Chains A and B, each alone.
Chain A
Amino acid sequence: MSNFSNNHRALIEIRGMKKIYDLGSVQVNALNGVDVDIHENEYVSIMGPSGSGKSTLMNLIGCLDTPSTGEYYLANERVAGLSDAKLAEIRNRRIGFVFQTFNLLPRASALQNVELPLVYAGESPSQRRRRAKEALEAVGLTDRMKHKPNELSGGQRQRVAVARALVTNPSIILADEPTGNLDSKTGAEIMELLDRIHNEGNTIVLVTHEEEIAQHSQRIIRLLDGKIESDRRTTSV
């Protein structure tokens, strides 16, 4: 087993993952045996109708939840069965989240929002400031650092969220319907930003139900009823 775990090549390696929700009278198999490998610098979309288990898979990949059974290795680290504190550390170091609803702290400035993961990483204030500024520059918000979320447009808010996801230099960027709350023009801008981040060497996992958005990625995993229905490379790349 230890030999096995030391010889992973994939960044994300999921084996026989099941997630069962016990709703008292019924048990719901949200994931029913999933095997996935995602390599470094891949750009993957997870698609599927609602109830297919794509949100559950994303939560598990993002270490927000633990599987009922099965194995999950993230960057050679066995994630299944880790403690809460350890999972929090992994989320902090390894994963950058981008949410559909941006999820920024409304009373904090853009800079403070981007600094937040570094606060939990225990970075010094001057380091935090420097790195947060760099991340905001990378998403093109140099002149909006002091603004609060309600003083920013939707697109700008999502850029702040992307900067926040990038700032810890994570192993993967996990984007859950990142354009779902944006108009098509701003949505396209955010997708361009994600494409650029991918080209700079980052690994991106995208959860979406829009074909057009999924076409930005190199590979589309389609889920249905808690199982992988198909796993194909996209035609555009």
Chain B
Amino acid sequence: MRFFSDTAAGLRIAFRALVSNKLRAALTTLGIVIGVTTVILMITIILGLNRAVEGQFAFLGANTYYVSKWSWFERNWREQWMRPNMTPDMALRIKEESKLAMAATPLDDREMTVAFGAAQQTGVDVRGVSEDYLITNSVAIDFGRFLSAEDVRRNQPVAVIGAGIAERLFDKVQPIGQKISIAGWKFRVIGVAERVGSFFGQSMDYFVCIPYGTHMKRFGFDPRQNSTTIIVKAASAADMEDLKWELKGLMRRIRKLSPTEPDDFGINDQSLIMGAYNDLTSGIYTGGVIIAFISLLVGGIGIMNIMLVSVTERTAEIGLRKALGAKRWMVSWQFLVESAIICAMGGLVGVGFAWGVSLAINEFLPTYMPIWVVGIGIIFSAVVGVFFGLFPSIKAANMPPIEALRHE
């Protein structure tokens, strides 16, 4: 392009004008800065959530169904409340009668205090499960072993502890073989699970697994949950759909439902969580888009105002340029570039702000800011600059050269 160097000159002029009017430029671009900060923050939060979520629902186990009294994310609470409770022995029947399930375990869990000597940890998720939990939830064992079928059958007071518990309670001592107390009852530690990490800022390593029979006997049902969940794992992903129908039939048989009665249980899986998650993020998206749109509108109007002032201030310059042979589009091009540059700078500052804020947010919400977001922020705000610079630049382009030249 033959006007590249003029563009470069335009950039220089715009930049100098900005520097000599620091406060004005700062105030003008504030709206853009806020708008871009919002946009970028939304993007980084969504990206961060997506990254955190990616594969993270694996803690629910891959290819698994959660058969429960409750149907997740359905709102018929009253109807669900009236459903009969589920019991751990249903897991055994499912395991016996299902052809597609490779493992099935009951799950009763309650938050309790776990102690070893003087050290203690409150709010530990104590799970009553069978030996199949190792398979359904892909538990990896670091030391010792998981619950055996024998432990479960005989309701042994043994426990497999999460890496977080091991760290918290066993500072110097080897945990295997030690006696820990859960809500006052003694359990022997037989295994330590590998570190899982955290999910949404919450550590996934503060849990204890004990045989479900022992859990029932010592702690009963969690009054909030009041029903056992049964985790069933398919042999392969391809079997998932068939397994769902098989489980439905099995459960209806167990519950002795007539063909006209609706299901009084839920067969839940990760996709339900993903569905709810997508609803949540689309909410964030929509909110973010609206906020960003409003602040960019406000910012854009600010830019338009300042560009109109700039056009008026430089009437003589516009006249001179026209006298020297600048066509309309050349004049408007100069002001568009200037407006785009001012906005792009605001965008850059906004990206910087967003970066700082996303670091702060990262303490409690996962955020992720890839480098292309910087480009998006700058280009986006430059586009706003061009859009809102359009009217002032046309005004400049339409100035009659004599009027403009006469202006002092």
Contact = CB atoms under 8 A, between A and B. Distances in A.
B405 A88 contact: no
A141 B337 CA distance: 32
Nearest to B408: A101
Given A64-B405, A88-B322, A103-B316, A119 B327 contact: no
Interface in B1-59: 2-3, 5-6, 9, 13, 16
Interface in A100-126: 101, 103, 105, 107-108, 112, 116-117, 119-122, 124-125
A81 to B, nearest CB: 16
Q: Is the interface of B mostly helix, strand, loop or mixed?
A: helix
A96 B326 CA distance: 13
B400 interface: yes
B327 A59 contact: no
Contacts of A101: 408
A164 interface: yes
Interface residues of B, number: 24
A62 interface: yes
B395 interface: no
B317 interface: yes
A93 B325 contact: yes
Q: Is the interface of A mostly helix, strand, loop or mixed?
A: helix
A121 to B, nearest CB: 7
A92 interface: yes
B359 interface: no
Contact of B328 (A84, A116, A122): A84
B405 A107 contact: no
A88 B402 contact: no
Contact of A120 (B316, B317, B324, B405): B324
Contacts of B2: 122, 124
A107 B401 contact: no
B320 interface: yes
B317 A59 contact: no
Contacts, number: 64
A64 B401 contact: yes
B324 A164 contact: yes
Nearest to A107: B16
B338 to A, nearest CB: 13
A43 interface: no
A170 to B, nearest CB: 10
Contacts of A164: 324
A99 interface: yes
A92 B400 contact: no
A39 to B, nearest CB: 24
A97 interface: yes
A93 B325 CA distance: 8
A92 B323 CA distance: 8
Nearest to A105: B317
A23 interface: no
16 contacts: A65-B402, A85-B327, A88-B326, A91-B322, A91-B324, A91-B325, A92-B325, A97-B323, A103-B316, A103-B405, A107-B16, A108-B9, A112-B9, A119-B9, A121-B325, A164-B324
Interface of B: 2-3, 5-6, 9, 13, 16, 316-317, 320-328, 330, 400-402, 405, 408
Interface of A: 59, 62, 64-65, 84-85, 88-89, 91-93, 97, 99, 101, 103, 105, 107-108, 112, 116-117, 119-122, 124-125, 164, 168
